[in-house]
Amino acid sequence: MILIADGGSTKCDWILLNAEGEKVFKTRTKGLNPAVFPELVLEQRIEENADLREVKDQVQRVHFFGAGCGTEKPSSRLAGIIANFFTNADDVLVKEDMVAAVYAATDQPGIVCILGTGSNSCYFDGKDIHQEVASLGYVLMDEASGNYFGKRLIRDYFYKRMPPELVVKFEEKFVLDSDEIKRNIYQQENPNTYLASFAEFIFTNERNGYFYKLVHEGLEDFIKSRVLPYKECRTVPVHFIGSIAFFSEDIIRAVLQPYGIEIGNIVRRPIDGIVDYYRKNVLIGSK
């Protein structure tokens, strides 16, 4: 059996497939970003899941695609943790989330963008992934991501730029004591996930001019920084992966229209697309 995982900083989806490509189960753990979380946290988040504990001795292969797995040191660390837990797995593979995003979005040349807790992009030539701009994470980059919009909301609240009717709702939903916010950002282990938790306020409330402008500006920054640098951006479709993209499709289309860029697939949860890829190319399709 093969266990496939799509992991971010906030959550990680796992699907177990048998040799015929049939789904045995689907489960979810908390985020498993090895560039953000220490080893002990990563171990605990895997071990506390009852579904994974139940099948740990039956799993023969584990293929993990995740945020923070684009460089050797963190990806090797996570691979070791996974191998120690699934002791009978003789094939443990850890790759960055961009690979999973491509698998979920397309098998043809295109630009693939991730808009989740963090953000990123790549050009897929039909075989290999190419990245024009390195990803430096939530402090310096991550335009149009959950943590980007979370920071914008918090700043607008404290600078008194948020509309009064939204201020009331914002105060009802979140703890906005300045010391508590600073503690979570500067003293806790995963400030990017904390910041991203504020972004749901945009997408769980009725759309208005303030939210539209906020999201439009973030997406405009992302397109300029993460799509336009690719010379292929006007000759291939641009695909989007993640909840931020899913809930912002109309604004994405509005932002892309002046550039003459073709929009491709928009996928909320990449795990199902990854499973289809494995069924076609790794399991059934490879027999």
The domain spanning residue 29 has which CATH number?
3.30.420.40
For the chain, give the percent of residues with pLDDT over 70.
Answer: 99
**Mean pLDDT of the 252-280 span:** 91
pTM: 0.85
**Mean pLDDT of the 5-17 span:** 90
Is 275 in a helix, a strand, or coil? helix
Domain count within the chain? 2
Q: What is the pLDDT of residues 27-62, one digit of tens each?
A: 999 999 998 889 999 999 999 999 999 999 999 999
Same domain as 245, residue 168:
yes
Same domain as 209, residue 119:
yes
Tell me, what's the pLDDT at 286? 46
Same domain as 187, residue 173:
yes
Contacts of 77 (CB under 8 A, 6+ apart): 34, 39, 42
Same domain as 263, residue 176:
yes
Mean predicted lDDT score pLDDT of the chain: 92
Domain of residue 7 covers: 2-102+270-286
Same domain as 122, residue 242:
yes
Tell me, what's the pLDDT at 284? 57
Q: Which residue has the higher pLDDT, 258 or 271?
A: 258
Inter-residue contact 122 to 111 (CB < 8 Å): yes
* Confidence at 287, pLDDT banded by 50, 70, 90: very low
pLDDT at 189 over 80: no
Q: What is the pLDDT of residues 124-162, one digit of tens each?
A: 999 999 998 888 878 889 999 999 999 999 999 999 999
Q: Which residue has the higher pLDDT, 164 or 282?
A: 164
* Confidence at 190, pLDDT banded by 50, 70, 90: confident
Hunting for tokens 């023969």 — which residue is that? 60
